[in-house]
Amino acid sequence: MSGKQNWIAARGAPLRGELGIPGDKSVSHRAVMFAALADGVSEIDGFLEGEDTRATAKVFAQLGVKIGTPSPSRRIVHGVGVDGLQAPSGPLDCGNAGTGMRLLAGLLAAQKFDSVLVGDESLSKRPMRRVSAPLAEMGAKIDTEEGGLPPLRIHGGRRLHGIDFVSPVASAQVKSAVLLAGLYADGATSVREPHPTRDYTERMLSAFGVDIEFSPGYAKLRGGQRLRATDIAVPADFSSAAFFLVAASIVPGSELRLRAVGLNPRRTGLLAALRLMGADIREENASSHGGEPVADLVVRHAPLRGIEVPVELVPDMIDEFPALFVAAACAEGPTVVRGAAELRVKESDRLATMATGLRALGLRVDETPDGATIFPGTLRGGRVDSHGDHRIAMSFAVAAQVAEGEVEIGDVANVATSFPDFDGLARRAGFSLRAG
């Protein structure tokens, strides 16, 4: 998808069948990065064929890494070692990928050459000082636009030193940027978080042979280590599965099986929240892919009840709140969200955008600075604007499946950044969804 696009969504059929969800975006980003830095050749199976992850792969090609694509969702990465990246001939375009830009900032801050990281209109509005500030403490020099916004102009040739960083925000991207810089720093680098965040970076660095100590909310490694090539099987993306978990929960008569979904414990807060609301979701065929726990998720329609979302779940479901808002809209009784101020600095202000969209469909939503209260009711037809935010667009496609009229969803092109062919997969499952 490209350019401004709209969807028209409406009440569909019960959702049935077995779905293969695309590969995990966070794991795909890291797999390409760490394979590029490794000594030897790594194969990645299940790579997400999205615009964000392709942008990251293209960046490493610009940095001198040979990456083959023998078939869709597979990459063969010829690692150049931690000291083998080459100076790019121009700016490095991260597209819409906040993960890509923030992790690359940590990695490139330690290189001998200068580099510039740019992004699309949405990414160019996202805060980067949360990354540039701790990297500066390590000795890096990164210039940003006013307000700490991209582009990031990274000065090479700086000698970095390890730090004990106490992060003011619970962000896996910030933690990962500091740890990647720490691979090149003198001494040890540690990160402590106010709440535990996703540990993809720690798990995968360990899989690539890095000696790293980590536990919930804490990670530490020493500089000067090398990475060893390894093959990675990318699990299905839980954030992408989230839309179908909610849809099958709220559409009467539904039963879906989602195959081999990644169940990293720092990622599945939504699963816990939906179960607190009464959702019928069970796990089957549990196994492990590349150090990540996976299982089939079988979800059946069930009546949901409103809850006060436990604050301790918030960091583990920060990307899934748009989908949760839809579940809350269809529950019995209000749902209260607190401690989610991070949603205001994602691809859009997700609190405001979801609240505005649900109001346009006839519901009452009371916003607070760090959350909202969603009062359920009958969803009617109407028009909502996703503001170019892929998760907002997909969430309203889910909401429309129980609405009383057609829902027009504006500006959906960015869905391709994280979930290519969402609309096709959704229609095969039973959604009523078409281009507008």
Tell me: cis bond preceding 151? Omega within 30 of 0 counts.
yes
CA distance 218 to 194: 10
Any catalytic annotation for residue 370? Answer: no
CA distance 260 to 350: 28
Check 199, 319, 385, 411 and give the catalytic one. Answer: 319
Per-residue three-class SS string for the chain:
CCCCCEEEEECCCCCEEEECCCECHHHHHHHHHHHHHEEEEEEEECCCCCHHHHHHHHHHHHCCCEEECCCCCEEEEEEECCCCCCCCCCCEECCCCHHHHHHHHHHHCCCCCCEEEECCCCHHHCCCHHHHHHHHHCCCEEEEECCCEEEEEEECCCCCECCEEECCCCCHHHHHHHHHHHCCCECEEEEECCCCCCCHHHHHHHHCCCCEEEECCEEEEECCCCEECCCEECCECHHHHHHHHHHHHHCCCCEEEEEEEECCCCCCHHHHHHHHCCCEEEEEEEEEECCEEEEEEEEECCCCECCECCHHHHHHHCCCHHHHHHHHHCCECCEEECCCHHHHHCCCCHHHHHHHHHHHCCCEEEEECCEEEEECCCCCCEEEECCCCHHHHHHHHHHHCCCCCCEEEECCHHHHHCCCCHHHHHHHHCCEEEEC
Residues identified as active-site: 319
